[in-house]
Amino acid sequence: MKSPVLYLSHGAPPLADDHEWTAELAAVSAGIERPTAILIVSAHWEAAPLTLAATETVPLLYDFWGFPDRYYQVQYAAPGAPELAAQVRKLLQVPGTPVYDDPSRGLDHGAYVPLKEMYPDADVPVLQVSMPTLDPAALFAIGRKLAPLRDQGVLIVGSGFTTHNLRAVNLAGAPGAAAPTWSVEFDDWARRALAAQDVDSLIDFLHKAPAAGIAHPRTEHFAPLFVSLGAAEESLGTAETVIDGFWYGLSKRSWQIG
């Protein structure tokens, strides 16, 4: 089977309390064939050279602060994916560009928060891969190299947030409050650009998208999209929005491709 590719807006740990969003994530996984393994790239891990997280189950990385204790007690003991890691090394390692290993690094919240809703039994092997750069073209190229994994049933997931500016939204308000104009405009532009398969504009989003500098004052949450686009390059015409709407003013838009 050839697996689709996902880009997910992953939310913060309180996503687990949002029954609508958790149901949407569960529906995404229910609508695709069970993967043999999951390769996930999260906005919360930048490391160069490119690095592979633990290939055996290790404790989660609770990479957030100031939340109630219960969010630090969440468990997601997914199996490691050493065979997948070996394949990723072969696909990505070239002379002068090594691939590193970080055997003690657990899944961060950009990985386990959505996966816990999608595969709650934690019975699918998961490999997290770092972003060695935030350059969209370079990340697209990495995705291209990972594309053959889809033929083996590996689900490639980019996990970010379609808009992400925590300082410009009201986190003390209601999750479903009206989104600010900059978030709505950027979300609509991204939707239309991917529907048109305009990869060049997406890669140059900082110059082409409305309110890009406000929607992404730092671009790490949009960056995982480019790994997904590269891995799904031949299938871009099948891209569909599987989750939309806003959460505290941030765009939840998530795509499935293939």
Question: Residue 172: its pLDDT value, please?
Answer: 86
Query: pLDDT tens string for the chain (258 positions)?
Result: 799 999 999 999 999 999 999 999 999 999 999 999 999 999 999 999 999 998 999 999 999 999 999 999 999 999 999 999 999 999 998 888 899 999 999 999 999 999 999 999 999 999 999 999 999 999 999 999 999 999 999 999 999 999 999 999 998 889 999 999 999 999 999 999 999 999 999 999 999 999 999 999 999 999 999 999 999 999 999 999 999 999 999 999 999 999
Question: Residue 178: its pLDDT value, please?
Answer: 96
Token digits for 127? 């490999």
Question: Residue 157: its pLDDT value, please?
Answer: 99
Question: Residue 96: its pLDDT value, please?
Answer: 83
pTM of the model: 0.98
Alpha-carbon gap, residue 16 to 112, rounded angstroms:
11
Q: Which domains does the chain have, with CATH numbers?
A: 5-179+220-257 (3.40.830.10)
Question: Residue 220: its pLDDT value, please?
Answer: 98
Question: Residue 29: its pLDDT value, please?
Answer: 98
